[in-house]
Structure 1
Amino acid sequence: MAQNQPLSGPAPAKAALRRELLAARRALSPDALAASARALSRSASRLPELADAHTVAAYVSVGTEPGTRELLDALRAAGKRVLLPVLLPDNDLDWAVYEGPESLAGAAHPGKMRLLEPAGARLGSEAVTGADAVLLPGLAVDRRGMRLGRGGGSYDRVLERLERAGAHPALVVLLYDDEVVARVPEEPHDHPVRAVATPSGVVRF
């Protein structure tokens, strides 16, 4: 379990915890990444919030993030409408429907890791407000349900958009097992989530 470092305020503490968690992810072997992705798909697929959903807003994992590709295909095979994000120049997110692996295209964004994004028609940033469940990337969640993101702010905007719209989808973060921690530094704009899916199971808050 990652240890929080006592620093002067939430922003430096978040930065230190992000460095620690990202270093742990970089140390994972390709075999461990593949096995974790398979197990994560199985555990997340058992969530009632996903089983009962008509529309799920998800994302395509990159690098050493917990793998989502198998989960995306499992959701689509189960008849779900899956929305995937398209990064905009201001770090906000547009959305498009996932139509299978062949519908993904590489996208280069200045200063960021190369992403895989859906090639279909853009639905607009508000499309996420129609989702029954939203799968969120992150680096950690604590026992209160507070999420630590990567710091880009894209999903903070998504959560603010949902709140403004009065939308209340199930919010689920996908993590590795040791990224459910005792506490993450919290700022006023942070929103709690309902559950975390990890390769070994589900944690609810």
Structure 2
Amino acid sequence: MSDIGSRTEPGKRTLRRELLAARNGLTVDDVRQAARSLARRALELPELARARTVAAYVSVGAEPGTLVLLDALRERGVRVLLPALLPDNDLDWGAYTGEGSLARVQHGGRMALFEPAGRRLGPDAVTAADAVLLPGLAVDARGLRLGRGGGSYDRVLARLERADAHPALVVLLYDSEVVAHVPEEPHDRPVQAVVTPSGVRRFT
């Protein structure tokens, strides 16, 4: 399901480089302040207000911060699922029960990820989620998301489709990452909303 090698990949690679360079220019304070604003905006979403199970992820580096939001969801009594990267780039899932339930995992030469340290629930656990918070680098006016190119979340979205599961799909980004156009491929699926530090934008 990876988009590597496709016709639109050169355009995606260029856009990814530009967006990652912008993120790398952020200070620790920039990231921390944005994380608080993101959590506040996301918690106002009706899709999260009524969710019993949310599949999310732990941000790393200069990604829009998620830990404040994860803890706030737990305080509401929401069951939070977090991914664990498998060798084939698919995702397994485990429950988040606080920062103490996370393990720092190094996957080869990539950036280390924070994954659930407890029992694995299997790749299909995501199909029980009422909302899925997706990482990304950009989203466009159609709701098409640009990921990092590994294909992990393409697999998640395909799994949801096969299971006829229809959770709310929400991407968390910085304001500047809502762009006019993202190169499109046949397997791409739009999200319903993007949350940025300044607000929420919905897509039809």
| TM-score with structure 2 setting the length | 0.96
The aligned amino acid for 2:140 is D
1:32 is paired with a residue of what secondary structure? helix
Distance, in Å, in 2 between the alignment partners of 1:11 and 1:117 is 28
Q: Is residue 63 of structure 2 the alignment partner of residue 65 of structure 1?
A: yes
Q: How does 1:20-39 map to 2 (within 5 A)?
A: 20-39=18-37
1:143 is paired with a residue of what secondary structure? coil
1:162 is paired with a residue of what secondary structure? helix
Q: Deviation per CA, 1:91-133, whole angstroms, max 9, x where unpaired? A: 1000000011111111111121011111111000000000000
1:144 is paired with a residue of what secondary structure? coil
Distance, in Å, in 1 between the alignment partners of 2:7 and 2:116 is 38
Q: Is residue 111 of structure 2 the alignment partner of residue 84 of structure 1?
A: no
Using the aligned pairs only, state the percent identity.
Answer: 72
The equivalent residue for 2:103 is 105
How far has the Cα of 1:34 moved from its partner? 0.7
Distance, in Å, in 2 between the alignment partners of 1:105 and 1:9 is 37
How far has the Cα of 1:9 moved from its partner? 4.4
Structure 2 unpaired stretches of 5+: 1-5
Matching residue within 39, 47, 50 for 1:49: 47
Structure 1 unpaired stretches of 5+: 1-7
1:70 is paired with a residue of what secondary structure? helix
The equivalent residue for 2:133 is 135
1:61 is paired with a residue of what secondary structure? coil
How far has the Cα of 1:10 moved from its partner? 1.6
How far has the Cα of 1:171 moved from its partner? 0.1
Distance, in Å, in 2 between the alignment partners of 1:11 and 1:86 is 25
The aligned amino acid for 2:21 is A
The equivalent residue for 2:153 is 155
Distance, in Å, in 2 between the alignment partners of 1:29 and 1:98 is 27
| TM-score with structure 1 setting the length | 0.95
Matching residue within 157, 162, 165 for 2:163: 165
Distance, in Å, in 1 between the alignment partners of 2:134 and 2:59 is 11
The equivalent residue for 1:175 is 173
How far has the Cα of 1:160 moved from its partner? 0.4
User: Please, which moves more after superposition, 155-164 or 104-113?
Assistant: 104-113
The equivalent residue for 1:3 is none
1:181 is paired with a residue of what secondary structure? coil
The aligned amino acid for 1:15 is R
Give the aligned length: 198
The equivalent residue for 1:202 is 200
The aligned amino acid for 1:203 is R
Distance, in Å, in 1 between the alignment partners of 2:145 and 2:176 is 14
Root-mean-square deviation (CA), in Å? 1.0
Distance, in Å, in 2 between the alignment partners of 1:145 and 1:70 is 25
Distance, in Å, in 1 between the alignment partners of 2:21 and 2:162 is 35
The aligned amino acid for 1:95 is W
Distance, in Å, in 2 between the alignment partners of 1:106 and 1:32 is 23
